[in-house]
Amino acid sequence: MRHASSNSPHPHRAGRRAATALLLSLTLVSAMPAAAAHPVPATNASVITTWNQIAVSTVTAAGPSPTAFNYFAFVHLAMYNAVVGISGGYELYQWDAAGSKQASPEAAAAAAAHHVLRTYFPAHATSLDASLAASLSLVRNPVARAKGISFGVQAADRIIALRASDGRGAFVDVPVGTGPGHWRPEPATALFSSAWLGGVTPLAVQSADQFAAGPPPPINSDTYLEEFNEVRITGEINASPTDRSDEMEQTARFFSDAGIGPMQAALREFATRRGLNIVESARMFAAVDTSIADGAITVWKGKLDYMWWRPITAIRNADIDGRDDTAKVDNWTPLIGTPPYPDWPSGLCSVVAATSTVLERLNGDGTLDLTITSAAAGVTRNYATKAQIAEDAVSARVWSGIHFRTADEVSIDIGTNVANYVLDNYFQPTD
- What CATH number should be reported for the domain holding residue 418? 1.10.606.20
Largest distance between two CA atoms of the chain: 83
Do 383 and 250 share a domain, yes or no? yes
Asked if pLDDT for residue 15 goes beyond 50, the answer is no
Task: Say which residue, 177 or 108, is predicted with more confidence.
Answer: 108
Mean pLDDT of the chain: 92
Angle between helices 105-120 and 46-59 (to 10 degrees): 10
Residue 128 in any domain: the answer is yes
Do 194 and 305 share a domain, yes or no? yes
Number of neighbouring beta carbons within 10 Å of residue 61: 12
Number of structural domains, the chain? 2
Residue 249 in any domain: the answer is yes
* pTM value > 0.85: yes
Residue type, 332: W
Do 199 and 297 share a domain, yes or no? yes
Exposure of 13 by Cβ count < 10 A (0-12 exposed, 13-18 middle, 19+ buried)?
A: exposed
Cα 389 to Cα 97, 325, 369, 409, distances in angstroms: 38, 33, 10, 12
Over residues 104-153, the pLDDT tens digits come to: 999 999 999 999 999 999 999 999 999 999 999 999 999 999 999 999 99
Over residues 271-284, the pLDDT tens digits come to: 999 999 999 999 99
Do 136 and 40 share a domain, yes or no? yes
Q: Residues 387, 390, 392, 395: is their CA dihedral positive or negative? A: negative
Do 100 and 217 share a domain, yes or no? no
Asked if pLDDT for residue 32 goes beyond 70, the answer is no
Residue where one domain finishes, among candidates 162, 194, 221: 162
